[in-house]
Amino acid sequence: MEQAHITASELARRIDVNRHTLRRWRGGEIIRPDCRKVLACLPHLKLTHQQSQSLLQAAGCSSDEPTQPHLSDTNSVLSPFVAGQPIVHPQQFCGREEIIDNIAQLWRSLPLQNIAITGQRRSGKSSLLHYLKHVLPQRLAPNYRTVLIDFKEARMRQQSSLLQHLLKGLGLPGLTGCSLVNFEEMLSFHTIEYPTLVLMDDIEYGLAAEDLSQELWWGLRSVQHNYCYGRLGFLLSSRSAPAVLAQQQGKSSPFFNVFCYQVELPKFTQTEAACLIARSPITFADHERERIMAQAQGEPAVLQEACIAHLRQLEKEKLTP
């Protein structure tokens, strides 16, 4: 099993199998491995479509049989494709390896840097943050904490609820009716023990919230620099640069000017698109695969929707006498 930019131990962790089991697969000691796990390998390996099919065939996962049970067989089976909502299960996430590697590299040492991810609607920003929340502690060190804040949630647009959520994520005592002053005092008296990564999704909703004033953003900058000893890092996602959004909302703050790594989420590469398509439990014909990739033009949401539609059609055809 050839891999690119990933160790056997890391691959085993991502697909939730013991690394010794993976080595037995590669050594041919296990003749027929679990096809669902083999399928889960594909998004993490930089393979062509033909290589993916060869791997499935070598594992005994033939193209004319599902590589996972039908979705109605058990509630625990994950859909191969997701559309209309963020991807929250790490095994359903696909692609973005270069961006994830760059983020992990920035956060391997102190002080933790601030990162901004921008992208158009439905480009996969929320899915990326959910994936980072799950995988960063494994990629970096077990003592790393991750805190996800989705500003589309009403409670995250209320200062007291937001600050209490942050305190909990930082492993500090909670405060009823937490004010910014209380929050700053808590950080000044209690040292953050572990490196903590705060992932803020859709920052534009937070900036537009009346209860999240300019003073709050100044306060976050202050506690990060004065009390956290480099152990607190922020990653923001938005449709455009956070500093520009803050200025538009009249909430400019030095907090938004210290993001050393800013990247616009690109479209899927052909390799990423092919890896996603290869997840189908029923193999897509080459001409259908090419049609879907041409239709999607690298747009992750369009690609997922097209894959769902074609998979449903194939399932109907299998049920038709």
pLDDT 10s digits, 254-276: 999 888 899 999 999 999 999 99
pLDDT value of position 66: 41
Q: Among 10-19, 186-195, 293-302, name the one with the lowest average pLDDT.
A: 10-19
- Judge whether 1 lies within some domain: no
Nearest Cα residue to 262 out of 139, 128, 129, 119:
119
Instruction: Tell me the DSSP string of 133-158.
Output: HHHHHHHS-TT-EEEEEETTSGGGGS
Q: What average pLDDT does the segment 72-77 reach?
A: 50
The CATH number of the domain holding residue 132 is: 3.40.50.300
Q: What average pLDDT does the segment 280-291 reach?
A: 94
Taking the C-alpha atoms of residue 139 and residue 230, their distance in angstroms, rounded to an integer, is: 19
Question: How many domains does the chain fold into?
Answer: 2
Q: What average pLDDT does the segment 145-152 reach?
A: 96
The DSSP code for 232 is: E
pLDDT value of position 177: 86
pLDDT value of position 73: 39
Measure Cα distances from 137 to 131, 142, 146, 195, 216 in Å.
11, 5, 8, 10, 28
Domain boundary among 218, 236, 264: 264
pLDDT in tens, 96-132: 999 999 999 999 999 999 999 999 999 999 999 999 9
* 181, 309: one domain: no
pLDDT in tens, 34-63: 777 777 777 677 677 677 777 777 777 744
User: How much is the pTM?
Assistant: 0.77
Task: Tell me the backbone φ, ψ of residue 295, rounded to 5 degrees.
Answer: -65, -40
* 291, 193: one domain: no
pLDDT value of position 70: 39
* 183, 312: one domain: no
pLDDT in tens, 150-174: 999 999 999 999 999 999 999 998 8
pLDDT value of position 49: 66
* 33, 68: one domain: yes
Structural tokens at position 284: 């897509």
Helix (H) or strand (E) holding 292: helix 286-296
pLDDT in tens, 233-260: 999 999 999 999 999 999 999 999 888 8
* 139, 279: one domain: no
* 68, 183: one domain: no
* 16, 139: one domain: no
* 24, 123: one domain: no
- Judge whether 2 lies within some domain: no
pLDDT value of position 149: 97
Q: Where in the sequence is the domain holding 55, given as residue range(s)?
A: 8-86+268-319
Let me know: does 175 contact 182? Beta carbons within 8 Å. Answer: yes
The DSSP code for 17 is: -
- Judge whether 214 lies within some domain: yes
- Judge whether 55 lies within some domain: yes
Nearest Cα residue to 273 out of 299, 312, 309:
299
Q: What average pLDDT does the segment 266-290 reach?
A: 93
- Judge whether 3 lies within some domain: no
pLDDT value of position 32: 65
* 131, 259: one domain: yes
* 240, 109: one domain: yes
Q: What average pLDDT does the segment 78-96 reach?
A: 91
Measure Cα distances from 311 to 97, 276, 287 in Å.
26, 13, 14
Torsion, CA 6, CA 266, CA 125, CA 78, rounded to 10: -50
pLDDT value of position 175: 84
Measure Cα distances from 99 to 15, 32, 75, 116, 299 in Å.
20, 34, 32, 11, 17
* 126, 166: one domain: yes
* 68, 121: one domain: no
Cβ neighbours for 81, distance < 8 A, ≥ 6 positions apart = 276, 279, 280, 304, 307, 308, 311
Beta bridge partners of 262: 116
pLDDT value of position 130: 96
